[in-house]
Amino acid sequence: MSAEQNGAPAEAVPKPTEAPKDAPTETPKQAATNENEKASKEAKSGADSKADKTEPKSSDAAGDKKLTGAELKAKAKAEKAARRAQQKTSKEVAKGEAAVSSSPGQLGPSASEVKSKGKGKDGASAAAAAGRPALPKAPPSAVVTEQKIQIPECFSHLSMARRIPMTQADKDVHPSVLMLGQQMATFTIDESITRLKATMLAFRKVIESYITPPGNVLARHFTPHVLNIQIEYLTACRPMCFSMGNAIRWLKLQVSKIDMDASEEQAKKELCQAIDIFIAERITVADEYITEQGAKHIKDGDVVLTYSRNTLVEKAILYAHSTGTKFSVLIVDDPYEQFGQQLAKTLTDEGIKVTYSGDFGGLRNHMRRATKVFFAAEAMFSNGAMYARAGTCDVAMTAHELGKKVIALCETINITERVATDSLTYNEIDPERSSAAAFRLMFDATSDKYISLLVTELGSVQARSAPDLLRKLEEFN
Amino acid sequence: MANVQDGAVTRDLPLRGSNNVDAESFDIVATYHRLLKEDPDLTMPMAAIEALIEFLGHSQVKTVYETIDLVKTQSEKLQAAVRNPIALSHGTDLFSQYLIMSLKQPAASSGSGTGAASSKHAPPLDNPHESFEVVRQHLLRNSRLFATRAKNARERIAVHGRKHLHDNTTILTMGGSRVVGNLLGRAAAKHDYGWYTDPPRRFRVLYAVDPALEAESNSVVESLRAQGIQVATIPFTALAYAMAKVDKVIVGAEAVTANGGIISSMGTYSLAVLAKASRKPLYVAAEQHKFGKTFPVDEFDFSFDQGVINFYSNNNKDTKGKEESMPDPIDFTPPELIEAFFADHKVLTPDEVAKEVIDMLM
């Protein structure tokens, strides 16, 4: 990525006074390092997976040989019980499979891991060398009991993504899930819906390679002995997003519905088909429809303001452009993760006029120029609150104050039956920016009164109609 | 023009060859306009539904999906032919939803309350094709039923609405809505519930007359005065001035949006804003079949341009009249300004409307 490319979006910024000076100069560097880092991470995880496939298996096997199957099971049960006890404080989490998601004790990363994530290439590889052997060898749940970074007690319920060396993963974790876990932990796969899709595809592979042990039936054996292990690992890598929770609940239901007398081949085929349909209906087609509907709200002469980058918003803007609508885009970027630059680049490449602001400086001023605000939700809560990238709420409130309409795009799979009135009940700590002194939360919740319209594949509704959509979805099933 | 276009679309549909002759020769747009003209009391969504039923009578389709597909094509054709298709599309949406509900899941149609259409629906059958024929025959035999029901809906609204009109109050209205006219007229007479006779309400009506709708307004005013109601007419410009004398505001609507707002004749939004500013409750009298999936976020979020705002100066006159303004301009009143809806099935808040739209149409 050259500086020139990064400069391109800034070309449309006509006001040198208010645009942050460092946006075009310093941030490209940062973005470039980010990119490098990411590339190296990917390369590394790729290499890791290759290496791990040969080496750790033997050691794992050696470690496990000491325990018989029954003992292992008992051990796992004990661990689970311990964890459950730990979780009892937060009751709703204990329900359903999401239970696995956020037990505070296990999810804090060790210091070396966090450092490695923060500091580019060298740090990452150094930590890869140093960090791994330093950690004790055991299944992931037991690994990181000691936490070097102390998150204040009142935030201890928040969890954080962390990289689990593949060697420490449960031996039954499927290779594709292993890979996915690494990608999630490094935020290579980041958005809720992309994570969901990748997860479903990985689970499809898990199902394909599953062989029912003699004396068991798929419907009874698969979920507790195979699927849950995968889920546990993924959750340990990065807390599940709400859509994954919804989808996994759906998948478990499908598995339990399998006819006991059906042959294994038949059962696997049915499950894979169900997953394919699920992906097509709830993700692919949904995205297309939302893109179209969202684009319909962009009219000639509009100035669309959006915050950072989201695939769905990007698609909607591009779609509106492709239908010949004349409008411009104002990107306000998340100062911590400048994905907005990517968006600016994509849009300028298509010939859309873009104004870019690297942070919240002059937000009100930008908002005055905007006519509509587009967001994509990471999740929607049942009270109509929108869970999205940290900072979304600030932008939405500014828009509301200035009477601009806020349009949220969201697939119905992201709607959760939980309720959040603040941004602290559910959140995630940014692993790259967490120290003893300060840490950054990755999401916030935007109250429904700041959202004018929620576009889903079922139709366009008010944000507070989210629970009605959930009910509607239940009727379909 | 639209006909030519859509004819092509119809021809492109697969597997329709032989049946299409009827479908193509049938001019749904003309039928729609004829129905509206024949019966001045017919609302746009209802006319659309009746036109679609008439179309079903002409087509010889045998399968469920074919029908749904054809109804969809015809609906699109109809919507393309008028400049403001909102109210009409609410009718066609309701009809296709009704078809889908009663054809695909015969058992579900009775329970889920597809609004005006479903409650009188034929008994559910297991075989979709069998049920399809039943539904089709039922529709054809009773095509006028929709219109009658729509008129009954107006009476039911009047019954619901009268409970909210009190003695010695002043009601402000505008726009020549037939539903509102009927509501006020009925409230001024006694109503026999069967077990109890409700005495007439004594109220006064303040009628804001929009010059664009003068003819309709005057006919409503005349009929109200004929029914013994004291009516004062004020020009639209006097709305804010007169608001202090008003207790309640009642308006009609062309269509009700998915968030519980209304699309109504131009000026309703101004009235609603003024009413809100003076803290007077605004009620909307609208039939349930006007509810629809349209969800505008602001006044300009429609598929068509009304051409109401035209900037030009004497220096460059070529820009003048670039887009001719629409004969019946509309505006969108957001749900925050609406106190409640008098619908034919019950009185409900904008939030309940939103919920019903989701249940009914999504």
Q: How distant is the Cα of A460 from the closest Cα of chain B, in angstroms?
A: 6
- Please list every residue in chain B whose beta carbon sits closer than 8 Å to the beta carbon of residue A297: 297, 301
Tell me the pLDDT of chain A (477 aa) as tens digits: 343 444 344 444 344 444 444 444 444 444 444 444 444 444 444 444 444 444 444 444 444 445 555 666 666 666 666 666 555 544 443 344 343 343 333 434 444 443 444 344 444 444 444 434 444 444 444 444 445 567 777 888 888 888 888 888 888 899 999 999 999 999 999 899 999 999 999 999 999 999 989 888 888 899 999 999 999 999 999 999 999 999 999 999 999 998 888 888 999 999 999 999 999 999 999 999 999 999 999 999 999 999 999 999 999 999 999 999 999 999 999 999 899 999 999 999 999 999 999 999 999 999 999 999 999 999 999 999 999 999 999 999 999 999 999 999 999 999 999 999 999 999 999 888 887 778 899 999 999 999 999 999 999 999 999 999 999 998 887
Q: Which residues pair with B233 in a beta bridge?
A: B207
Least confident range of A61-75, B94-108, B319-333:
A61-75
Backbone Cα Rg of chain B:
22
Question: Exposed, middle or buried: residue B68 (CB in 10 Å: 0-12, 13-18, 19+)?
Answer: middle
- Please list every residue in chain A whose beta carbon sits closer than 8 Å to the beta carbon of residue B293: 459-460
Question: Exposed, middle or buried: residue B19 (CB in 10 Å: 0-12, 13-18, 19+)?
Answer: middle
pTM: predicted TM-score of the whole model, two decimal places: 0.75
Contact state of A453 with B355 under an 8 Å Cβ cutoff: no
Question: What is the predicted pLDDT for the residue at A437?
Answer: 79
Contact state of A461 with B295 under an 8 Å Cβ cutoff: yes
A330 and A370 in contact (C-beta within 8 Å)?
Answer: yes
Question: What is the predicted pLDDT for the residue at A103?
Answer: 38
State the pairing for strand pair A443-446/A386-389: antiparallel
Each residue's pLDDT tens digit, B46-57: 889 888 888 888
- Please list every residue in chain A whose beta carbon sits closer than 8 Å to the beta carbon of residue B258: 459-462
B49 and B1 in contact (C-beta within 8 Å)?
Answer: no
Each residue's pLDDT tens digit, B174-221: 988 889 999 999 999 999 988 999 999 999 999 999 888 888 889 999
Question: What is the predicted pLDDT for the residue at A97?
Answer: 39
Which residues 6+ apart lie within 8 Å of B25 measured at CB? B58
Which residues 6+ apart lie within 8 Å of A355 measured at CB? A12, A13, A14, A328, A329, A330, A331, A366, A369
CB-facing half-sphere around the CA of A65: CA atoms within 13 A? 6
Each residue's pLDDT tens digit, B2-16: 344 444 444 444 444
Question: What are the contacts of B12-20 at 24+ separation with CB within 8 A?
Answer: B13/B69, B13/B73, B15/B66, B16/B66, B16/B70, B19/B59, B19/B60, B19/B61, B19/B62, B19/B66
User: CB contact, 8 Å: A46 with chain B?
Assistant: no
B193 and B228 in contact (C-beta within 8 Å)?
Answer: no
How far apart are the C-alpha atoms of B351 and B258, rounded to whole Å? 9
CA distances to A223, B119, B295 from A462, rounded to whole Å, are 37, 27, 9
Q: Which residue's structure tokens are 């009940």? A: A425
How far apart are the C-alpha atoms of A352 and A360, rounded to whole Å? 22
Model confidence at B302: pLDDT above 60? yes
Instruction: List the single residue in B301, B303, B362 with the smallest CB-CB distance to A458.
Output: B362
Phi-psi region of B260 (alpha: psi -120 to 50; beta: other; left: phi over 0): left
Residue to test with chain B: of A289, A461, A476, A477, most B Cβ within 10 A: A461
In terms of pLDDT, which residue wins out, A175 or B322? A175
Question: What is the predicted pLDDT for the residue at A229?
Answer: 93
Contact state of A452 with B293 under an 8 Å Cβ cutoff: no
B191 and B197 in contact (C-beta within 8 Å)?
Answer: yes
What confidence category does residue B136 fall into, taking pLDDT thresholds of 50, 70 and 90?
Answer: confident
> For chain A, what is the largest distance between any 2 Cα atoms, rounded to a whole number of angstroms?
74
A363 and A398 in contact (C-beta within 8 Å)?
Answer: yes
Question: What is the predicted pLDDT for the residue at A74?
Answer: 65
How far apart are the C-alpha atoms of B29 and B46, rounded to whole Å? 14
Question: What is the predicted pLDDT for the residue at B207?
Answer: 95
- Please list every residue in chain A whose beta carbon sits closer than 8 Å to the beta carbon of residue B354: 461-462, 465, 468
Question: What is the predicted pLDDT for the residue at B65?
Answer: 80
Question: What is the predicted pLDDT for the residue at A93?
Answer: 39
End-to-end distance of chain B based on CA atoms, in angstroms?
A: 31
Q: How distant is the Cα of A268 from the closest Cα of chain B, in angstroms?
A: 29
Instruction: List the single residue in A299, A453, A464 with the smallest CB-CB distance to B295.
Output: A453
Which residues 6+ apart lie within 8 Å of A34 measured at CB? A337, A338
Contact state of B358 with A405 under an 8 Å Cβ cutoff: no
How far apart are the C-alpha atoms of A114 and A161, rounded to whole Å? 10
CA distances to A57, A104, A264 from A75, rounded to whole Å, are 20, 20, 29
H or E element, residue B171:
strand B169-174
What confidence category does residue B251 fall into, taking pLDDT thresholds of 50, 70 and 90?
Answer: very high
